[in-house]
Chains A and B, each alone.
Chain A
Amino acid sequence: MNKPIRTLSLFCLLLFLALLGRATYLQYYEAESLNARPENRRVIEAAYSAERGAILVGRTPIAESKPSNDRYKFQRTYPQPNMYAPITGYFSYYSQTGVEHSENAVLSGDDSRLFVTRLVDLLSNSTPKGGGVQLTINAAAQAAAFNGLKNLGPGAEGSVVAINPSTGAILAMASYPSYDPNQLASHDFKSVAERQQQLEGAPGSPMVNRAIQTRLFPGSTFKVVTAAAAIESGKYSYDSQVPGGPSYQLPQTSGSTGLVDNEGRDCGSGKISFSQAMENSCNTSFAHLAVNIGADQLRKTAEGFGFNQHYLDDLGPQVTSVFPQNLNPPQTGQAGFGQFDVQATPLQMAMVAAGIANGGVVMKPYVVDGVLTPALEPLPRTNPEELSQAVSANTADQVTKLMVDTVRSGTAYPAAIPGVDVAGKTGTAQTGTSEPPYAWFISFAPAADPKVAVAVMIQKAPGVERGEIAGGTLGGPIAKAIMEAVIHP
């Protein structure tokens, strides 16, 4: 009977090898994907029980873990909740957003850059802590941005983004209305679930980060792109005369649907200077310019600034700004002043301003400046990256002059700062419905050596009369406050 017993032992060996193989596969190769599954509560439970790293603006934490005496050892707290919510996101039992989500590996201490620290913790038997995340945000600019939106009054909706043009570092990113991430980070999971549901259905969608997740008609601020495309085409320059006049019939159209006007602003007749067209935000001129240079040139320039592209890795999900494909001439004309299907996020318009400010070079935007060890010693920082060369330096210079004129003697005057050359452009985009228009404002300063580029978008301002809603009057002062905060700290 020994032969079958030997055969049987081989069979048993196979059974055990199968078990060993499966266990190895499960606990070694498959472990990471299992840990990443949304149903897996162990990972989040552990995160609740470990000291998560802080998110810092300057030296001030805007998200930190404090010891807690309840079921979990640490409580995530946000000292300036509403102001920074669009950036930090929240860290709840059920989900995470913002930097809490995108930098989770660092904050939880699992990132490979923290390997040495982790090893030291292991050897010295101290409880592992997560690493810190240093943001590029400028606290004064952020406060100016948030308070500017808040002061528009109850029910206001809008967003502000400020960028350092030469690096792409985001200096401010505000979205209003906002929410309190502390309520979602609570250990009382029942109230968290209720609050989350409440917030998701709340008026004004406070959980939406409008800076990157709301795209609207950019309106007249898009004329900066049209002007850049026109000059880049070689057909026009700062000194050129451009078509003017009180109205312009789009090609291939007839009647009022294809008729562009200037809402009463002085755009002369016949030919006017490029400066006058920009200063008075002449729809007729820019529609005509767009038709003259063609849809392809306009789209190429817009895409150079970041339209139709994904470029933000630090926060998500980013909504892609759109410049449509295959426009016919009348559509191109409308696109020339930021209507038709052209849609942009506030971040995108800030990048337009930043690109012009940076000599036509658009930098990739980022909000995480660097990673810190749990002891807050800095690890290598984020290197600024070039996204694209949207236009030539020469073109950028000429557009800058047009924008400076617009602040000095045009619609963008509310952003003027005494003693500093500010470049700016207003926008008041029609919503296409009976709703009040959106107010936009983009600017950068100082014009000669730009330190900051800003985009302000005001989606709704119920406290302001409809006639008063204009990019310059609403957005200008906010942009000014932010630029001052950066230039004169």
Chain B
Amino acid sequence: MSQTGALMGFVHRRRRGAELFLLVLALAVGVGAYAAVGLGVDQEVPANLFGYGGWLAALLVGAHVVVRFAAPYADPVLLPIVAALNGLGLAVIHRLDLSDNTSFARQQLTWMTLGVLLFAATLLLIRDHRVLQRFTYTSGLAAILLLLLPMAPGIGTTINGARIWIHLGPFSFQPGEVAKVLLVIAFAGYLVLHRDALALAGRRVLFLDLPRGRDLGPILAMWMVSLGILVFQHDLGSSLLFFGLFLITLYVATERPGWLVLGGLMFLLGAVAANHFLGHVATRVNIWLHPFQYYDAASGSSYQLVEGLFGMAWGGMVGRGLGLGDPTRIPYAHSDFIIASIGEELGLTGVIAVIVLYGLIVERALRAALVCRDGFGKLVATGLAGVFALQVFVVIGGVLNLIPLTGLTTPFLSYGGSSLVANWVIVGLLLRISDQARRPLPSLEQDDRESDNEATQVVKLG
């Protein structure tokens, strides 16, 4: 909780002009990719290019204006990166639509609109992120309820073996995505209050200062419940994500690396046990180790993974070009495997660009955490950055066969409303925290001016 920046007289610039410039570039990526898709598939520029581009531009400019007024000191790089990723995702989904005769891109654009609206609402309604600390337990409870929802009969549905969806009328929703944000807030709120107790009170066992049960109890319970639900819902990816989130926030709050060691051991134990006792986990691990052996398997087939690998290999360095590859061979190319579609049509170059953009988001979020002045903001930003990094690693690493494949959405790129909306809210929160962190300290300046005034009015006493 250092205030070095302010103390050394360094004041962050607003940099809103830079943001606008980068947004124009991001818009060029989105609209350019959309035009390239039209050229690649139909050999003509899409007729609705201006309507589409206009809508995208309106959304982004709207978001920019909101940031300019509601969070003038916010980080100027985050919004353009997110806009570029979202635009690229839309174009790729549109490209797959053209081949499959689906209309996911239209729905995704609607979701993006909702996401931007919620992003604006986040910035406008939450003028100071510290108010969220009041909702620590409410968020925790809400997260657990949300995670439980898919288990409820009637509205919950099982898709591809994972019971993580709810259906309400025409809408389907993945509550885990929202629960992710709520859990970050809950963990951060709880840990910032109890960090001293967790770090200092308690007994030392081996290398680790074990905290008292009453300090750790609630958070552990919250974590166990969420993890238990996920195991029952067969959602490996989210389990991994929440476990990582818990570990990261605990480590940052207590500054005790011992937690990482313990957590790492627990993770290894859990992974070995899951591989041993859970059939669907063992299948994933086998496919990971021997992808080609299961290509034609009737159940537990590696077809999707291998086709993704083939697609990326086929794309090579520079890709086949948008609309010129064959990504529809990959099942779910528009959601979990969108990075394989990008690899096929935009090549290694495109994949590296996307990964670097994700890396920049994480870097920017962690930077906001570093300069943030309050512990709660630090924990929330770190938690969000950690969740984001883990999610990107788990899903892209899975598609690249670096780690066993687990179903997760690729943030901002994948088709999926809940994920897109939740991620826009995450960006809103990050901008809010970075705005607070980078904003010059008003009280200090005022004090100085007052003392100066006093100095002119009163006879100098020394």
Interface residues of A (CB under 8 A from B): 1-9, 12-13, 15-16, 18-20, 22-24, 26-28, 30-32, 34-35, 37, 39-43, 45-46
Contact = CB atoms under 8 A, between A and B. Distances in A.
B329 A19 contact: no
B360 to A, nearest CB: 10
B353 to A, nearest CB: 11
A16 B313 CA distance: 20
B352 A35 contact: no
For the complex of A and B, 9 pairs with smallest distance between CB atoms: A34-B313, A31-B313, A27-B348, A16-B359, A12-B389, A22-B402, A15-B393, A4-B252, A9-B366
A383 to B, nearest CB: 33
A72 B362 CA distance: 44
Interface stretch (B16-24, B29-37, B114-122, B378-386): B378-386
A27 B358 contact: no
Nearest to B295: A39
Contacts of A30: 313
A43 B2 contact: no
Looking at chain A's contact residues, the main secondary structure is helix
A233 to B, nearest CB: 55
A16 B255 contact: no
A34 B325 CA distance: 16
A43 to B, nearest CB: 7
A12 B402 contact: no
A43 B314 contact: yes
Contacts of B252: 1, 4-5, 8
Interface of B: 1-2, 248, 251-253, 255, 257, 292, 295, 306, 309-317, 325-326, 329, 343, 347-348, 351-352, 355-356, 358-359, 362-363, 366, 369-370, 375, 378-379, 382, 385-386, 389-390, 392-393, 396-397, 400-402
B350 to A, nearest CB: 10
B22 to A, nearest CB: 20
A22 B397 contact: yes
B255 A20 contact: no
A289 to B, nearest CB: 56
Q: Which of A1, A18, A22 has the most CB of B within 10 A?
A: A1
Contacts of A45: 326
A2 B255 CA distance: 9
A41 B327 CA distance: 12
A3 B370 CA distance: 9
A2 to B, nearest CB: 6
Given A2-B370, A5-B366, A16-B355, A31 B389 contact: no
Contact of B348 (A1, A4, A23): A23
A458 B370 CA distance: 86
A28 B312 CA distance: 9
21 contacts: A1-B375, A1-B382, A2-B370, A8-B366, A12-B366, A12-B389, A16-B356, A16-B358, A18-B393, A18-B397, A19-B400, A22-B402, A23-B312, A23-B351, A28-B348, A34-B314, A37-B292, A39-B295, A42-B311, A45-B326, A46-B326
Contacts of A20: 352, 355-356
A43 B309 CA distance: 13
Contacts of B397: 18-19, 22
A32 B315 CA distance: 11
